[in-house]
């Protein structure tokens, strides 16, 4: 993944924890320059995906800054960090803590969220959006993140134009057999209608401005 290139004419999009690519799919289909970052080798064939760890990306960017190297311009950063520790599903650790009467004491690992915010702070994109589940809200607030849009099970934080409600498939519609190695990725996939709504909101917001 390279960060030092000349400015293009289309939006540049960095999709962190990209999984099956749903979050950035509308951007890719619209001809934007999309780089997807994922560390699951089973997802290496998803178009525009580079196999890297987000924390390593953060550390490399920090090195670039320390060495005085220019960072390429990015218009949009999308991030959909793993939701397992924030989920309220029955077998997730937060739900287990709740059944043990330890809900208020439960503290998830926030290192990936913090690394994402560090990347955003370094890159300084025009727009950035972090997606997660409803169970993330009370934890993300500790980092100063407030939900900007909540659409069914999807909660969006960040700096982006708000969009209206989008009708999307339910999580169950995307379920697969429990032995599917990509089951969690399929269930976490951001539906295309949401990706389209996000891109449309950004394009309409920026239609009065110049991306140069």
Domains in the chain, please, with CATH?
12-206 (3.40.50.150)
Side-chain half-sphere of 8: how many Cα atoms within 13 Å? 14
Please determine, for residue 126, whether its predicted confidence score (pLDDT) is greater than 50.
yes
pLDDT number for residue 211 = 44
Please give the model's pTM, rounded to 2 decimal places: 0.89
Q: Give the lowest-confidence range in 70-74, 87-91, 168-172.
A: 168-172
The winner for highest mean pLDDT among 112-121, 166-175, 184-193 is 112-121
Q: Which of 30, 28, 3, 29 is nearest to 15 (CA)?
A: 28
- Inter-residue contact 23 to 195 (CB < 8 Å): yes
pLDDT number for residue 183 = 87
% of the chain with per-residue pLDDT over 70: 89
Q: Cα(144)–Cα(92) distance, rounded to whole angstroms?
A: 24
Please determine, for residue 97, whether its predicted confidence score (pLDDT) is greater than 80.
yes
Partner residues linked to 53 by β-bridges: none
Q: What mean pLDDT, rounded, does the chain reach?
A: 90
């Amino acid at each position: 993944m390279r960060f030092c290139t000349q400015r293009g004419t289309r939006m540049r999009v960095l999709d962190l924890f990209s999984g099956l690519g749903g979050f950035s799919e509308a951007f890719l289909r619209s001809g934007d320059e999309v780089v997807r970052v994922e560390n699951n080798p089973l997802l290496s064939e998803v178009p525009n995906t580079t196999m890297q760890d987000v924390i390593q990306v953060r550390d490399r960017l920090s090195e670039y800054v320390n060495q005085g190297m220019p960072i390429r311009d990015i218009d949009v950063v999308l991030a959909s960090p793993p939701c397992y520790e924030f989920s309220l599903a029955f077998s997730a650790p937060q739900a287990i803590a709740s059944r043990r009467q330890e809900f208020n004491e439960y503290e998830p690992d926030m290192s990936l969220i913090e690394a994402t915010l560090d990347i955003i702070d370094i890159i300084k994109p025009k727009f950035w959006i972090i997606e997660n589940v409803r169970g993330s809200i009370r934890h993300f607030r500790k980092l100063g993140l407030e939900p900007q849009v909540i659409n069914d099970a999807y909660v969006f934080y960040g700096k982006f134009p708000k969009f209206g409600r989008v009708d999307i498939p339910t999580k169950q519609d995307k379920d697969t057999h429990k032995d599917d190695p990509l089951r969690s990725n399929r269930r976490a996939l951001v539906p295309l209608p949401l990706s389209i709504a996000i891109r449309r909101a950004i394009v309409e917001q920026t239609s009065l401005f110049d991306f140069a």
